Homo-oligomer: A and B are copies of this chain.
Amino acid sequence: MTSQAATGNLVRTQGVTAPAGFRATGISAGIKASGALDLALVFNEGPDYGAAAVFTRNQIKAAPVQWSQQVLTTGRLRAVILNSGGANACTGALGFQDTHATAEAVAAALSDWGTETGAIEVAVCSTGLIGDRLPMDKVLAGVTEIVHEMAGGLTGGEEAARAIMTTDTVPKQVALHHPGDWTVGGMAKGAGMLAPSLATMLVVLTTDAVADAQALDTALRRAAARTFDRLDVDGSCSTNDTVLLLASGASEITPSQAELDEAVFAVCDDLCAQLQADAEGVTKRVTITVRGAAGEDDAVVAARAVARDSLVKTALFGSDPNWGRVLAAVGIAPVKLDPQRIGVSFNGFPVCIDGAGAPGAREVDLSGADIEVVIDLAVGADSASIRTTDLSHGYVEENSAYSS
């Protein structure tokens, strides 16, 4: 799929290796019992190594998050090693040692290959079941193998995107080619635990633009606040959420901060749409837009309250235009609203006007896969949207049997 963004072409057949200066691949290291791909490496060949990141706000942080937070304080990154098949969360001091040993092994293998690298230049990301130690014999053997494979010259962005999948059904990647001859690429995984202040989600973004750590940090925070932070599938927030942005400078072009912001936003926004469309058990892609709010924060809080409401989400699963549940959900949000003037529409059809039902509201057709809910709080001029999904039998099925 190719589509036109404000800043250039979005191409979903390319990912983290679309920008110059990056290599990546994915292998099966045997961490997953199924034998599926489970180890990914993204490597920055330079000449620059600036990097930025945002991490989960969960107080319970997985070992790889604790490690990568330390690494990113340097604003510099040579490589990212990612595994599926285990979150390495709630694994105590030994789990942290496992993460550290993994970064050391990557650094050693890259150094052996001729690229002098320290562990402090290697971020680690893990995803899977919380609470179990990783099979470190397999992880460490896999690290040696994956560096050799990558050194062979493969630029396997799609293999990397496949290797980080858990309950995802499709790999998620996209690249944006800026008309100014530089590129931003990205890959993402995440299907459940998609929630506030980051979905459960691993995302690696790459660019060959020339940009220092500060410029990258600014662009990433601005983009994440309006994309990943506004994707809320089930209100759950993982212990492992990580979004990384690496710049190689290989294009030798220095975009303005505004250009970089816009390009990173476009890539994050597209990856978000892909995450939403592949969420666990999804049968409807739902966007909740709140407008007429007294401030943008109010709009986000109100839209999130509706996006998380189980009664709204089950009604939408049933294609039921039960707009009263939307009002009940938004009414409990701690935001300013006017009960006498509040309005709701489904797919552009007004179902509630001035706080009461509109003619024909019960007959609105919600049988399609996309549902747009717009709520007008009628007290101001600000707006915001949250992407979510319905609450289906599929979601219950998948999540009642995940670890068993």
Which A residues are closer than 8 A to B by beta carbons? 57-61, 87, 89-92, 95, 129-132, 192-193, 195-197, 234-239, 308-311, 314-315, 317-318, 320, 322-325, 327-332, 337, 339, 342, 352, 354-357, 361-362, 391-393, 395-397, 399-404
Contact = CB atoms under 8 A, between A and B. Distances in A.
B59 A339 contact: yes
Q: Which of A61, A193, A314 neighbours the largest number of chain B CB atoms within 10 Å of its CB? A: A314
A320 B403 contact: yes
B361 A131 contact: yes
Given A92-B356, A318-B401, A396-B396, A193 B234 contact: no
B327 A90 contact: yes
A20 B396 CA distance: 48
Copies of this chain in the oligomer: 2
A402 B320 contact: yes
Nearest to A397: B393
Nearest to A195: B332
A342 B392 contact: no
Given A132-B357, A352-B131, A402-B322, A234 B310 contact: yes
9 contacts: A59-B332, A60-B339, A130-B328, A131-B324, A193-B311, A236-B332, A310-B399, A393-B393, A395-B396
Task: Please name the 7 residue pairs, one residue from A and one from B, whose CB atoms are nearest each other, closest first.
Answer: A130-B324, A318-B400, A60-B331, A314-B399, A92-B356, A58-B331, A131-B324
A232 to B, nearest CB: 11
B328 A60 contact: yes
B309 A90 contact: no
A301 B309 CA distance: 18
Contacts of A61: 331, 339
A87 B403 contact: no
A318 B400 CA distance: 4
Nearest to A353: B92
A323 B91 CA distance: 12
A302 B342 CA distance: 32
B60 A236 contact: no
Contacts of A325: 130, 236
Contacts of A327: 60, 89-90, 130, 239
A241 to B, nearest CB: 10
A235 B306 CA distance: 11
Contact of A323 (B95, B131, B318, B339): B131
A329 B58 CA distance: 8
Contact of A328 (B193, B332, B396, B404): B193
B402 A315 contact: yes
Given A59-B339, A60-B331, 4 more contacts: A59-B332, A60-B342, A236-B310, A236-B311
Contacts of A235: 308-310
Contact of A318 (B362, B391, B404): B404
Nearest to A193: B311
A322 B327 CA distance: 34
A275 B15 CA distance: 51
A400 B339 contact: no
Contacts of A397: 393
A57 B342 CA distance: 17
Nearest to A240: B328
Contacts of A331: 58-61, 237, 239
Given A60-B339, A355-B90, A396 B324 contact: no
A76 to B, nearest CB: 27
A341 B49 CA distance: 37
